[in-house]
Structure 1
């Protein structure tokens, strides 16, 4: 199969997280990039705009496969490199993850911690979790004083600000002279790569927008709150063991908090329900009473593009067409690895990273 030649013309469909990352890296390599998106520059249709952007491979090991966990570990080293090359600052923190639970949920917490330990035996490079109680817990996270007496600290995990990142990528793409076609939906059939007057390559990063081409895709709905809470001082992403779903609270800069938990097998993009909103807010209040006086900045809904096995995949539909999709709930945690897998495929026609991370690379359309 052909490889990407110097100064190639590349059309990228979808200006969400993967589309912007690929456009940025390929433009830096000297290629001429045209980026197309069905919506505007704020990435309003992208799952990445609503995400909490947590980088938590050990925490996520409870719900995903070892290959995804390895991608998460890779991202913790790769994200600082990617951010350093952008034209605007992006909040990045690597202060670990705290897992808390109320007394009545101790049984669920015990099972979760046993799962963490099992996954560490599978992947010994994961850091050891630290069991905390009493003063040790309050020392590492003072805001938990008088509310929790037990917790688990997962060292080394991180997070970033998703919207700062999307904006910084857009600013960098502008400087790199990438053609950005906003509110311009395109389909794969609109291009004939490699022919006269056409791009040399087409990369499809449209997420759920690619369902016409990748019919196995489904949406998994998430509901997320953004609140401004000046009275709350959480030093790191905090997860609460909950009988119905695990709540997360991700503190960003300037006392902005991203709160989420719900995960529904649905393509429904309507506004969040009153029930789920109340559950999110009440659970957050049990973590810190300062959330009672928080101001709700935004209540958002988005559907994450998901394949049947909940794992990401790459397809080479033809010699000059590559699709990447299925990042599910792990977009920010695995996108640096998926970026480098695609760059390897373009450069050499093969990817050792894909094998390292157990990423499926298909060479023909799925039946």
Structure 2
């Protein structure tokens, strides 16, 4: 529900920013190789139960080889089956951050301080002031339940690849995703490791990501690697985001795990509501409350 709500809110939020941000809702294509069909059956069962539990969520569409080829001709005849998850979408997170920065810089009463780390307990806000702590794993001294979940992504320039929508590859060990960005750029990611390790990506995980991407579209063979990045996602024990009051005028927003940008509008609206009223109405609706 949080993701669905977020996707519905994104166009309105993006329209208010100082510069354009790539956003599309062409759905997500889910594929699998023949040897991974049992895992695909399990995954389809999870999706079916989710649709039953979340009213209004579009049902998945089963595709045969012709159906896959019709919506993503670049893949050809590599996959005999697939699933289309209609209504899903994506945005360019880097364009979004740049647009948010430009919009903040244009406001008359906003001052930004870079490279000046602070903790909420270093301040005592006045009666009309509020502190919103969004430090991710940096908030662990005040929120002991936070943990890091390592992720690795590869950004490539692949002008020979013409995937139009995010594509996921079902695999027994890692759920690969390929997300198209503007100008022939693709983000390839999969790994989800229970670790706070911030070291560079391993040879093994890099080979697995690139090999899996090539198995989806042969055009990735001539792609140019632009970046290999690693980072740890701030996560709570249930892998759900949470908003809580650290003290009367200090709010903490954290635990976005892998949900990130998709559910950001739901988190935004919840935080604004709680700042205004200190009531958890929307938080309860999205199961965000975690005091």
Do the two structures share a fold, i.e. TM-score over 0.5?
A: yes
Please report how far the alpha carbon of residue 351 of structure 1 lies from its aligned counterpart in structure 2 after TM superposition.
Answer: 3.1
Q: Mapping of 1:340-355 within 5 angstroms?
A: 340-355=269-284
Where does residue 14 of structure 2 map in the other structure?
A: 83
Q: State how far apart, in whole Å, the 2-side matches of 1:214 and 1:334 are.
A: 21
What is the number of residues matched between the two proteins?
290
Please report how far the alpha carbon of residue 255 of structure 1 lies from its aligned counterpart in structure 2 after TM superposition.
Answer: 0.6
Give the TM-score of the pair, scaled to structure 2.
0.97
**For each residue in 1:246-270, what CA deviation from the matched residue of structure 2 results, as whole angstroms up to 9, or x when unmatched?**
1000001111000000000111111
Q: Mapping of 1:1-367 within 5 angstroms?
A: 70-177=1-108, 178-194=110-126, 200-362=129-291
Q: State how far apart, in whole Å, the 1-side matches of 2:182 and 2:103 are.
A: 22
Q: State how far apart, in whole Å, the 2-side matches of 1:183 and 1:173 are.
A: 17
Provide structure 1 residue ranges, at least 5 long, that are not aligned to the other structure.
1-69, 363-367
Please report how far the alpha carbon of residue 348 of structure 1 lies from its aligned counterpart in structure 2 after TM superposition.
Answer: 1.3
| 3-state secondary structure, aligned to 1:126 | coil
Q: State how far apart, in whole Å, the 2-side matches of 1:110 and 1:143 are.
A: 25
Q: Does the Cα contact within 8 Å between 1:96 and 1:154 map onto a contact in 2?
A: yes
Please report how far the alpha carbon of residue 212 of structure 1 lies from its aligned counterpart in structure 2 after TM superposition.
Answer: 1.0
Q: State how far apart, in whole Å, the 1-side matches of 2:22 and 2:199 are.
A: 30
Please report how far the alpha carbon of residue 124 of structure 1 lies from its aligned counterpart in structure 2 after TM superposition.
Answer: 2.8
| 3-state secondary structure, aligned to 1:73 | helix
Provide structure 2 residue ranges, at least 5 long, that are not aligned to the other structure.
none
Please report how far the alpha carbon of residue 231 of structure 1 lies from its aligned counterpart in structure 2 after TM superposition.
Answer: 0.3
Q: Does the Cα contact within 8 Å between 1:131 and 1:151 map onto a contact in 2?
A: yes
Please report how far the alpha carbon of residue 189 of structure 1 lies from its aligned counterpart in structure 2 after TM superposition.
Answer: 2.2
Give the TM-score of the pair, scaled to structure 1.
0.78
Q: State how far apart, in whole Å, the 1-side matches of 2:132 and 2:262 are.
A: 21
Structure 1 residue runs of 4+, over 3 Å off? none
Q: Does the Cα contact within 8 Å between 2:28 and 2:167 map onto a contact in 1?
A: yes
| 3-state secondary structure, aligned to 2:190 | strand
Higher relative contact order (CA 8 A, sep 6+): 1
The two structures, once aligned, show a CA RMSD in angstroms of 1.1
**For each residue in 1:147-198, what CA deviation from the matched residue of structure 2 results, as whole angstroms up to 9, or x when unmatched?**
1121000111000000000000000000013111001101112211117xxx
Q: State how far apart, in whole Å, the 1-side matches of 2:226 and 2:73 are.
A: 25
Q: Does the Cα contact within 8 Å between 1:220 and 1:265 map onto a contact in 2?
A: yes
Q: State how far apart, in whole Å, the 2-side matches of 1:330 and 1:354 are.
A: 16
Q: Does the Cα contact within 8 Å between 2:280 and 2:289 map onto a contact in 1?
A: no
Q: State how far apart, in whole Å, the 2-side matches of 1:282 and 1:83 are.
A: 35
